[in-house]
Amino acid sequence: MATVSCRLFSFLCCLLFMIISQTSAQSSPLSRICVNEKGNYTANSTYQTNLNTLLPNLTSNTEIDYGFYNFSYGQNIDKVNAIGLCRGDVKPDACRSCLNDSRVSLTQLCPNQKEAYVWFDKCMLRYSNRSIFGVVETLLPLDYMWDLNNATDVDQFNQVLFNLMRNLKGAAASGDSRRKYAADNATVSTFQTIYGLVQCTPDLSWEACNGCLDGAISEIPKCCNARSGVRVIAPSCNIRYETYGFYDPTPSPSSQGNCHVSNTSRTAIVIAVPVVGVVVLVLSFICIYLRMRKPRKYFEINDDEIITNESLQFNFDTIRVATNDFSDSNKLGQGGFGAVYRGRFSNGQVIAVKRLSRDSGQGDTEFKNEVLLLAKLQHRNLVRLLGYCLEGRERLLTYEFVPNKSLDYFIFDPTKKAQLNWERRYKIIVGIARGLLYLHQDSQLRIIHRDLKASNILLDEEMNPKISDFGLARLFVVDQTGGSTSRIVGTYGYMAPEYAMHGQFSVKSDVFSFGVLTLEIVSGQKNSSLHNGERVEDLLSFAWRNWREGTATNIVDPSLNNSSENEMMRCIHIGLLCVQENLANRPTMAAVTLILNSYYQTLPVPSEPAFYMDSRTGSLPHVQSWEYNSRATISTESANESAQELVNEASITELDPR
């Protein structure tokens, strides 16, 4: 009885402490900075008008449910850029409420500064007259808060703490453009667990987020060594750890540890009982409503998938007007599926419209496939679907307009390739890798693209790559990695041998295509080419021969200077690893991304590529491993699993570029 009373008392104390902490944190800011160096605005000025217009409307888009808002308002020197970020576990309504409170506090705390930011427990608000999107903030200082209590066994505590923070940093940095957030716990001893949380603004790149969090974590020993709880806050990222559960969702009930774990779990159980009843009741009403309401219009993707999102559907007349009745002057290209047109909506937004051919049955499956996939995918390195149109025999897909055409337009042109220096080429390789990693691992779905090639990589105004043309892609459940087909579709020069010859495809098929694409970008040459009507040595054979003979610099495009030779050699090495014949030896895109973003990896020795386009002449000898300040070895994983396809087979052969 005494034990139960003690536990109950401890539970109530912990619960009261967390409630008080949360209440006080919400009532006053944790940190705020008014930046005087960026100048002040005067009352009733254009800047103040823009600020007063932007901040109240920052969270007005209720479709944003991931807690990140980044918008601008105004022009030139009076333009206001604002970022609102909520802690990754905060629900949408609570997020918007926190940010609305923050804007009132911030304009009162910093009444006339052009740049300012404020942190509350659950959200951060920041605005400036300079560009702050996608930029790691190094001008504004870090802020620290710590618990007055010290850890007992400092060495063990620090070891567990920094292992936890390192894992969280990697998970958060790998997030997509909506959320870069991670939270977890680690056990120090039977009586102590560390709960950690890290977060970046999602507009940052992998490197930027990783670097920002690295800097924040490295501050812990300097400011707050051995403290049992610490926050480090910066404009672009923040970290926090405590010895009690402070974020939601709470640790699972099965977790064993100190009183904070068990108490938090019990809290979840106490709260969950009435909540479950309410949820069941709500779901019952929803089911009744769905049965009684009038059916809505929809179109069928296949037997398993139906899209009913009418917010994505455009009126045909709207698109017809935007493209000037699909005039030839607005035509961007022609493919087997139909034509692509440039258009402009009445609000000034420029779009690209894919119009399927009316007279051909081909492409209908691809059209539905792209709507299904792209409507669910959001990543900076994937082309963004704005909507679709289904009226009569018209099948239209509307995308963001990407002004610099496709990669093949530049990389294979003797004159235009000069616009792609090595820095741009490396950025393109890294961007494609990130896009594929998102498709294979980080999105809600598992997507195998099946037609990755230079003409399907679009380049935006800053030459950032965007993977396009998902008509041949395949959708799988999370634990599936491949499948097989009797109908081979795609582009021959980029096909993995197991797919070209046996119809077997997997995430490693996309890895093979990425390897070919990487070698093309480095060399500026197509994988296969014709000379006087006869096939000459293809790129894979050429690359392998020079690699084997120690003359890998011959692979590099002569138009590039050798100032980044080490980086170029590493990309050639990656390309050869990706095109190995045995798919189990090819790295995953997670491993490829890690290699591209680190100079401290030892790469495995590549084996002979798959020369399935040419006759085989026998085995080639192994070569020595290339090392780049090595401290670790990238491991590969097998992808021999086969899986059932969730999307019907496509009937078209090859889709030409947009």
In the DSSP assignment, the letter for residue 227 is B
Active-site residue (options: 101, 121, 203, 451) = 451
Residue identified by tokens 């994988």 is 527
Q: Please tell me the distance from the alpha carbon of residue 218 to that of residue 600, in angstroms, as a whole number.
A: 19
For residue 435, which amino acid is it? G
437 sits in which H/E element: helix 422-437
Tell me how far CA of residue 130 lies from CA of 31, 114, 157, 238, 366, in angstroms. 21, 9, 41, 21, 43
Question: Nearest-CA neighbor of 464 among 494, 436, 440, 429?
Answer: 429
Residue identified by tokens 């009843």 is 277
- Which residues 6+ apart lie within 8 Å of 26 measured at CB? 98, 101, 120, 121, 122
| Per-position b or e across 317-339, b if 16+ CB within 10 A of its CB | eebbebbeebeeebebeebebbb
Q: Is residue 479 flagged as an active site residue? A: no
Residue 387, strand partner residues: 398
> What are the phi and psi torsion angles at 172 (to 5°)?
-70, -45
Neighbours of 641 (CB within 10 A): 12
Q: Please tell me the distance from the alpha carbon of residue 406 to that of residue 44, in angstroms, as a whole number.
A: 46
How many H helices and E strands in the chain? 16, 27
Helix (H, G, I), strand (E, B) or coil at 325: coil
Distance of alpha carbon 364 from the chain centroid: 29
Question: Nearest-CA neighbor of 606 among 517, 555, 544?
Answer: 544
The residues carrying an active-site annotation are 451
